[in-house]
Structure 1
Amino acid sequence: MNDQSVAPRRRDDTTRDLGLSVAILAPRGRDAAVATALLDEVGVSSITIDSLDDLAAAIGGSIGVALATEEALIAADNGRLQEALARQPSWSDVPFIVLTNGKARHRSERSKALIDALQNGILLSRPMHAEELVRAVRSALKARARQYEARDRMRELQVREAQLHESEAKFHAIADSIDQMIWSTRPDGFHDYYNHRWYEFTGMPEGSTDGEAWADVFHPDDQDRTWARWRQSLESGEAYEIEYRLRHRSGDYRWVLGRAQPVRDAAGQITRWYGSCTDINRMKVAEEQLQLVLGEMNHRVKNSMAMVQSIVSQTLRQADSLESARLSIQSRIAVMAQAHDRLVKATWAETSITEVVEAALNPHSMSAGRFQLDGPDLSIGSKQALALTMALHELATNAAKYGALSSDAGHVRVHWRCDDGSESAGFHLCWKEQGGPPVEPPRRQGFGSRLIEQALAGYFDGTAELSYDPDGLRLDLEAPLAGLSRQE
C-alpha cells in the first residue's frame, strides 16, 4: 500500500453517533497498520480483525465497513462469512472494500467467486493511493449510515403502524358499542365505512351498501330530497342534517335523523365526512300521535263550545225568568262537565254504558227503587256517552218536575238490549216513566226534546222518539250496532 499522508479531517458526526467503525482484515504485511493510521488521521475509527471467523462475528455487530485483502478472504473460508452475510436484517448490507493483488484476469476462479458473493463490494488494486482508500471508506460509511437511517425510519413506520392499528381498533370498538349508526365517506361522498350497528339495523350484508348503494335502503318517497340535501353539503361543505326513513331489517321503514360533519386539513380542504344515523322512530310516532291528539282535542273543544252555546241559547229562549234560566244552565253545564271528567279519566276511549247511565241518574235518585236499570254492559264511544248523559239528565229533570219522579209512587225503568242475532241487528234503549201524574204532550218543543230527538239520535246514527203516553213519558232510541262507537 502506498503510505502517502492524508490531511486530517473532522470525523463524520453521523458515523460517530452510530458508533460505526471499519473492520480491517489484513493479517499479512503492513496493510493493516497503514490502513489504521490513515483512517485514524482522518477521524475514522477502525478495529483489526485477525480471521474470517472474527469478521463473520463482527458482521452482526455495528461495523460500518469491512476492509479486507484478497488473500485474507480466500485463505481459509469455511462458509461462515457467507452465512453471516445471509443472516443480516433486511435493511442491512455491510459494504466491503477488497484490496486486490492486480487485474481481474490474474484472479483465480475461487477468488472471483468469493468476491462476487460479497455483492456490496468495492475493489481497490494495490498499490493503492491513500486518498483513494479514504474516499472509498468514507463513501462506504456514508452508505452504511443511510442503511441505519432506513432502519430507523422503518422502525418508526412500524411503531406508527402499530399505533394506527391500535387507534383503529379502539375506534371500531367505540363505534360498534354506541347505539347509533356511524358512517364515513371520502371527500367526494363515496361511502366506505359503516359500523356494526348500521348492518344490524338494516340487515344488509357487510360492504353491500358502499358507494351509492346506501340509497337503496331509503324510503322511495325520501330518496330525492335526501340526495339533494347530501349533494348540497358536498358542494358547499355545510353540515348535513335531515330526517328520513330507512328500511329496517324487519322490512318496515323507520324514521332516523341523519347528520354529518366534514373534517378539514390545515389548508381547509375536506379530507373526510363523518356521519351518524339516529333512530328517532318512537319520537316521530309520538309526535304524530300528539298532533292527532291535539287535532282531536281541538275538535272536541269546538263541539263542547257549540253544545254550551246551544244550551245557553235554548235555555234563555224558553225560560220563564232569568233565575230559572240561570239554574237550568248551571245544572246542564254541570252535568256536561261531570261527563267530560269521566271521559278524560277514560282518556276519551270507549266506556261502559252501565257506568254512563248510573252516573247520569245518581244525582236524581232521591230514594231507592226510583230507577230500575236493566241491560248488558256494552261499550260506547265518547261522543255517544256525552250525548246519552245529557239526554238522561234532561229526562230525569223533567220527570222530577212534571213526571214520574214528582210523585212518591212514581219510578222510571231504563232498559236496553242488543239484537245482534237478527237480520236488522241493532241497539235499543227505552226510558219508561210509571206511577206519575197523567202526561200531556207539550205545547212547544223545549231544549230537552230537541236534544233527545236530534242530537242523541244523530250521535248514535239512529232514531229517537218521545211518546207522551198518558200513564208516563216514553223514549225509544234505536241505532245500528256501529252507531255505538261511531266517530265523526
Structure 2
Amino acid sequence: MPIVIGRPTDPRQDPDAATDGRLSVVVLAPRGRDAAVAVDLLGKVGIPSIVVRDIGGLASLIGDCIGVALVTEEALAAGTGDRRLIEALSGQPSWSDVPFIVLANGTVHHRPARAGMAIDALQNAVLLSRPLHAEELVRSVRSALKARARQYEARDRMQELQMREAQLYESEAKFHAIADSVDQIIWSTQPDGYHDYYNSRWYEFTGMPQGSTDGERWADLFHPDDLSRTWERWRHSLESGQPYEIEYRLKHHSGEYRWVLGRAQPVRDAEGRIIRWYGSCTDINRIKLEEEQRRLMLGEMNHRVKNSMAMVHAIVSQTLRQAESLDDARTSIQSRVGMMAQAHDRLVKATWTETSITEVIEAALTPHRMKDGRIILEGPDLPIGSKQALALTMALHELATNAAKYGALSNDGGHVRVQWCETPCGNEREFHLNWTEADGPPVAPPSRKGFGSRMIEQALAGYFNGSAELIYKQDGLVFELRAPSEGLSQQDNGFV
C-alpha cells in the first residue's frame, strides 16, 4: 500500500520509515488518477513510493532519506510552497542532489513562464511528456534511483573518510602530545633518511626555527670532529636496515656542543620494506663529563699513589741506610710516614685540589710546638696545591725534627721563625719561605747529607719549580725556598 502523507513523518523519529524511504519515490500528482497509477506501476516492479499532497509536503522530505521525486507539471504550476521547496533544495548537504522526474503536459506547446521557472529551480530534473509508456517511466525512475544510490555511496564513503581523518587527527594529536612531553628529542625520517619530523624538544635544544633542519640540514649542528663517523654510521643503517646507535656532540642553543646518544629503529611493512625510521637523541652530556672526571680522577689517583709509594720507599730505604740502629730507624720511619699520612688526610678533606698554606704549616709544626713562642709563624694565607702541600709538610717535619734533636728546639731557650710572602719580580710575582733558627746550640755543616736534607733541597725545589737551600750558620740553621708564585699550585711536577 502507498503511504499517503499530508504532514510527513519525521524519519529521525521512525528509523524504519527512513530506511524504507532511502531509495523510494516521492509522488506529487494532486490531480486525477496520476498518483494512483504511478504508485501501482512502481509497486509492480518493487519500487516503494510515498505520496504527498502538495509542494510543502515534498519540501519537508527533501532533507530526509528519499530517492527520487516524481512530480507533475501542474503541481509545480500551482506554486503553493515554492519557496519552501527552493530552500529545502538549497539546504541539501554537499553530497546530495535529489533527482526530479517531471511529468509534463505533452499537449502544451507554450509552457507558462511560472512553470518553466519552477522546473528550472529543481536543479536536477528530467521531463517526461504525457501520455508516456509505462516502461519509459519505470526505466527513468530506475535510472534516477541508481544515480541517487551512488550519491548515498559517496556520502557513506565521505563519512568514512571524515571518520578516519578525525581518528588520524586524534592519533597525531596524541603522538605529538606524547612526543613533546618527554625529555628526549624525537625525530623521524623517510625510508631514504630524509628528516621530516622533529618534536619540540629538538627546537628547544638547538634553538633553530621550525622546519629549518629538515632533510640533511641537521648535519650543520654536529661537531665537526663527529660529523664524518656519524654520517658513516647513519648510511650503514640506511643501507643495511640495522638499528642506528652512536654518541656524538650536538650544538646547543647556548653555542656549546653537548654530548647526546642518537638511536633509531626502522618500521617495516608486511613485506618487510622499511617505510620509516623513528629515532631519538638523549642528552648524555653530564654522564660524559662525569665519565671524563672519573677517568681523570683514576689517573690522578694512580699517579698520586705511585708518588706516595715512591716517597715511602725513599723514606724507608734512606732511613734504614743512615740510621745508627733499628730502633732509631723504626722511630724515624714511623714519624715520617705518620706525618705523611696526616698530610694526606688534610688533602683528602680539601678534595686534593688546593688548600691553605697557613693550615699546612700549622698542621706540620703542631706536634713540635710544646711551648708557646718557640715556633713563630708569619705570612699571608695563600692557596697551595695538593702536591706542594704534601712536599712542604714533609720538609717542615724534617726541619722541626732536626731542630728538636740538634737545633733550636733541643734546648730551653731556642726558637724558630717561619716567614713566607709574595714579592714582585719583574712582571711576575715570587714566593719566598724562610726557616730561621736562633738561640740554639752552635751549628756546623754535616759531614754527609741524609734523606731529610736531600728531600728538603731537591724534592721540595722540584715540587715548587724553584730553588731550596739549607744554610748552616753557626748561630742557627736557615732554610730558604724561592719559587715563582704559580709554583704554589702547578700540577705537573713529580716527586724528585
Distance 2:20 2:232 in 1: 61
Residue number in structure 1 paired with 2:404: 400
Query: Secondary structure of the equivalent of 1:189?
Result: coil
User: What displacement does 1:447 show?
Assistant: 0.5
- Aligned to 2:390, which of 386, 392, 405? 386
Q: Distance in 2 between matches of 1:421 and 1:191?
A: 61
Distance 1:18 1:239, change over 3 A: farther
* Equivalence for 1:474: 478
| 1:415-426 → structure 2 map (5 Å cutoff) | 415-420=419-424, 425-426=429-430
CA shift, 1:48, in A, is: 1.8
Q: Secondary structure in 1 aligned to 2:97?
A: coil
Report the Cα distance in structure 1 between the residues aligned to 2:65 and 2:467, rounded to whole angstroms: 112
Q: Distance in 1 between matches of 2:20 and 2:244?
A: 54
What code does the residue aligned with 1:276 have? S
* Equivalent position of 2:221 in the other structure: 217
Secondary structure of 2:448's match? coil
Shift of 1:449: 0.8
Q: TM-score, normalised by structure 1?
A: 0.89
Match of 1:325 among 319, 322, 329: 329
Q: CA 1:463/1:121 → structure 2, altered by over 3 Å: closer, same or farther?
A: same
| 1:46–1:263 Cα change, 3 Å | same
Q: What is the rounded CA distance, in whole Å, between the counterparts of 1:14 and 1:296 in structure 2?
A: 91
Partner of 2:156: 152
Question: Counterpart in 1 of 2:6?
Answer: none
Match of 1:49 in 2: 52
> More deviation in 337-346 or 150-159?
150-159
Residue 97 of structure 1 corresponds to 101
Match of 1:4 in 2: none
Which segment drifts farther, 69-78 or 279-288?
A: 69-78
Q: Cα gap change, 1:17/1:220 in structure 2, threshold over 3 Å: closer, same or farther?
A: farther
Asked whether the 8 Å contact 2:246–2:263 carries over to 1, the reply is: yes
1:250 is aligned to 254
Aligned-partner Cα distance in 1 for 2:148–2:231: 58
1:31-46 correspondence to structure 2 within 5 Å: 31-46=34-49
Between 1:354-363 and 1:111-120, the stretch displaced more is 111-120
Match of 1:268 in 2: 272
**Aligned equivalents of 1:261, 1:18: Cα separation in 2:** 54
Q: Is the 8 A contact 2:102 2:127 kept in 1?
A: yes
Cα distance in 2 for partners of 1:125, 1:424 equals 119
Where does 1:65-464 land on structure 2 (aligned, <5 Å)?
65-76=68-79, 79-80=82-83, 81-102=85-106, 106=109, 108=111, 110=113, 115=119, 118-420=122-424, 425-464=429-468
Specify every segment of 5 or more residues in structure 2 that has no aligned partner in the other structure, as ranges.
Answer: 1-15
Other structure's SS at 2:215 match: coil
The SS at the match of 2:96 is coil
Q: Which amino acid aligns with 1:277?
A: C
Instruction: Decide which moves more: 456-465 or 397-406.
Output: 397-406
Report SS of the residue matched to 1:291: helix
Amino acid of the structure 1 residue aligned with 2:41: L
Conserved 8 A contact 1:22-1:67: yes
Mapped to 1, the partners of 2:21 and 2:403 lie a distance apart of 118
Query: How far 1:126 sits from its partner (Å)?
Result: 4.1
Q: Is the 8 A contact 1:15 1:145 kept in 2?
A: no
Q: 1:425 to 1:212 in 2, by over 3 A?
A: closer
From 12, 21, 26, give the equivalent of 1:23: 26
Q: Which amino acid aligns with 1:231?
A: R
Specify the code of the residue in structure 2 equivalent to 1:59: I
For residue 63 of structure 2, the aligned residue among 60, 65, 75 is 60
Alpha carbons of structure 1 residues 21 and 333: separation in structure 2 relative to 1, 3 Å: same
The structure-2 alpha-carbon separation of the partners of 1:440 and 1:369, relative to structure 1 and needing over 3 Å to count, comes to same
Alpha-carbon separation, structure 1, partners of 2:427 and 2:216: 61
SS of the residue corresponding to residue 293 of structure 1 reads: helix
C-alpha change, 1:84 and 1:353, in structure 2 (3 Å) is closer
Letter in 2 for 1:278: T
What is the deviation of 1:122? 4.1
Q: SS of 1:207's equivalent?
A: coil
Residues 350-389 of structure 1 show CA distances to partners (whole Å, capped at 9, x for unaligned) of 2222211111111122333221222222222211111111
Partners of 2:117 and 2:329 lie apart in 1 by: 131
Report the CA distance between 1:99 and its aligned residue. 3.2
Stretches (4+) displaced over 6 A? 421-424
Q: Is the 8 A contact 1:439 1:473 kept in 2?
A: yes
Deviation at 1:482, TM superposition (A): 2.2
> Which residue matches 1:6?
none
TM-fit CA distance, 1:474 = 1.9
Separation of aligned partners in 2, 1:145 and 1:461: 100
Deviation at 1:77, TM superposition (A): 7.2
More moved, 477-486 vs 441-450: 477-486
1:338 Cα offset (Å) = 0.8
The answer to whether the 8 A contact 1:69-1:100 is kept is yes
One-letter code aligned to 2:334: Q
After TM superposition, the structure 1 stretch with the greater mean CA deviation from structure 2, 300-309 or 146-155, is 146-155
Q: Cα RMSD between the aligned structures?
A: 2.7
TM-score scaled to structure 2, two decimals? 0.87
Shift of 1:337: 1.0
Alpha-carbon contact 2:437-2:477 (below 8 Å) kept: yes
**Alpha-carbon distance, 1:342 to partner:** 0.4
> Structure 2 CA distance, aligned partners of 1:139 and 1:295?
92
Question: 1:423 Cα deviation (Å)?
Answer: 7.5
Deviations 1:63-91 (A, max 9, x none): 21112234444454774344432332211
The structural deviation recorded for 1:297 is 1.6
Does the C-alpha gap of structure 1 residues 323 and 197 become closer, same or farther in structure 2, counting only changes over 3 Å?
A: same
Q: Is the 8 A contact 2:54 2:80 kept in 1?
A: no
Question: Among the aligned pairs, what percent are the same residue?
Answer: 73
Q: Tell me if structure 2 keeps the 8 A contact 1:23–1:67.
A: yes
Instruction: Tell me how far apart the structure 1 counterparts of residues 362 and 117 of structure 2 sit (CA, whole Å).
Output: 119
Give CA deviations for 1:279-316 in whole Å, capped at 9, x if unaligned: 22222222222222222222111111111111122112
Aligned partners of 2:187 and 2:195 also within 8 Å: yes
Counterpart secondary structure, 1:445: coil
SS in 2 for 1:221: helix
Q: 1:18 to 1:72 in 2, by over 3 A?
A: closer
Q: Is the 8 A contact 1:39 1:45 kept in 2?
A: yes
Deviation at 1:154?
1.8
Structure 1 residue 448: Cα displacement: 0.6
2:5 paired residue number: none
Residue 148 of structure 1: CA displacement? 2.1
